[in-house]
A = this chain, B = another copy of it.
Amino acid sequence: MIINNVAIIGVGLIGGSLGISLKDAGFKGKIIGVCRDEAHLRLAIEKKAIDEGTIDPCAAVLDADLIVLATPIDAIIPMLKKIKPYLKLGAIITDVASTKSAIVQQAEKVLGSAAHFIGGHPMAGSEHSGIMAARTFLFDNAVWVLTPTPRVPHEVVETLRTFLLQLDVRPLILAPDVHDQIVAGISHLPYLMACSLVHTVMTAQPLQQEMLTLASTGFRDTTRVASSLPEWGKDICVTNKKAILAGISSLKKNLAEMEKQIKNGNPEKLEAWFGKVKQFRDGMY
């Protein structure tokens, strides 16, 4: 199987960066971009993210060997229903959404044997969004998770994996539910905590202004991801409910334990705990 024609549905930060990266990597096939807004399509063409653009996803997928859904999570399943009658025989469909179990399950149900669906999630992004934020190095050295179920033939998975290897990414195969547990810990909980920290300052009367004046690089970095799209925040809470609730539960336990230590005034124990955390974190980067 060879992927010549690619349709990217949703040419924002991720879809646009994918197109730009493919072109920069020397991909010779055709890339059609789909988006509801023609002005965005023109921008995507100017930025060399796509060769052609259309607002009609059904027309875009007719000749596509690979369809990448780079829309917000809750648009994926309605989009699959819409394009299903127009798919090319043997087409591979993937997405880039931040959660996988719910989407993969529904996608396979909707598509039946009309196409091969392989869930995808590039571990790269930004708090910015839209085609203007798209750039070629977004995926550099990033892990790109694929979550095929046993229904997808091995050679189809290999076709998509090999295709991604053109980019400077590291494809990694995971089960959908394992993926969801992992991202709860490294992405969804950090987002919720960042929001919670911002909320604390936002509602800190009468000291809010002083907090804004004193907030420095530490606060900036710790809360950067709170600037992600609210729609994304909602979507992860809806589609990764179980893993996120387990994570919140674990954070609440941590906070209660810290509270206990601080109240009881056991500085050595606190310092030892902070030391272990620092050591682990220093080893990560």
Contacts and interface: CB of A to CB of B under 8 A. Distances in A.
A201 interface: yes
Interface stretch (A13-21, A36-44, A47-55, A260-268): A260-268
Given A234-B270, A251-B196, A226 B258 contact: no
Given A202-B276, A245-B259, A227 B282 contact: yes
25 contacts: A123-B214, A123-B215, A126-B217, A143-B216, A181-B207, A182-B207, A182-B211, A192-B258, A196-B258, A198-B277, A199-B254, A199-B277, A201-B280, A215-B284, A218-B225, A221-B225, A231-B271, A234-B271, A237-B262, A241-B265, A244-B262, A248-B258, A248-B259, A249-B259, A252-B256
A193 B222 contact: yes
A189 B92 CA distance: 46
Interface residues of A, number: 92
For the complex formed by this chain, how many copies does it contain in all? 2
Contacts of A231: 271
A204 B254 CA distance: 13
Best-surrounded residue of A143, A145, A221 (most CB of chain B within 10 A): A221
A273 B274 CA distance: 31
